[in-house]
Amino acid sequence: MPCLNVSTNVNLEGVDTSAVLADASSTVATIIGKPENYVMVVLKGSVPMAFGGTQEPAAYGELVSIGGLNPDVNKKLSAGIASILESKLSIPKSRFYLKFHDSKASRYYLLSTAHSWVFIRHHHVLIAILLFVRPILHKNMLNVCMLCIKS
């Protein structure tokens, strides 16, 4: 499940963020070679940020993926995301930094139902729970959470 998290000092008020998110999601899925329905993109604007000693428009991103990353892919992802930020948010490509994390699949669980999903990473590093429409009622949910708590 690739997750792209981008922070920028650009004010996103009045910006079509849906287009930025859609383009970034499609670019990540295409370049990494993973289905887009597993890609998550987070975009945060108006974040106090200085880059190169100035507060001109800039952005910082982190991309976490379970496999699919290598130096060639990383170079393509950097160029692709930088192009989107330049065209949609007027952030020069030279003022964007992207950090990559290639993670192991054994650290993650994805539990889903028709209306909700839960993403849990072991070792108390990340526990993200996203619920839509109704809470998850899963008989093994307590066991999964207990694994995270006990480890």
Selected catalytic residue, list 2, 35, 48, 92:
2
The DSSP secondary-structure symbol of 125 reads S
Helices (H), the chain: 17-32, 71-89, 141-150
- Structural domains in the chain? 3-103 (3.30.429.10), 105-150 (no CATH)
pTM for this model (two decimals): 0.71
Residue 104 banded pLDDT, cuts 50, 70, 90 = confident
**Cα–Cα dist 90/54, whole Å:** 16
pLDDT (average), residues 134-141:
41
Active site residue 71: no
- Helix orientation angle between 71-89 and 17-32, rounded to the nearest 10 degrees: 160
Which pLDDT tens digit goes with each residue over 106-124? 554 455 544 444 444 444 3
The DSSP secondary-structure symbol of 35 reads -
Which pLDDT tens digit goes with each residue over 4-55? 999 999 999 999 999 999 999 999 999 999 999 999 999 999 999 999 999 9
**Cα–Cα dist 88/10, whole Å:** 11
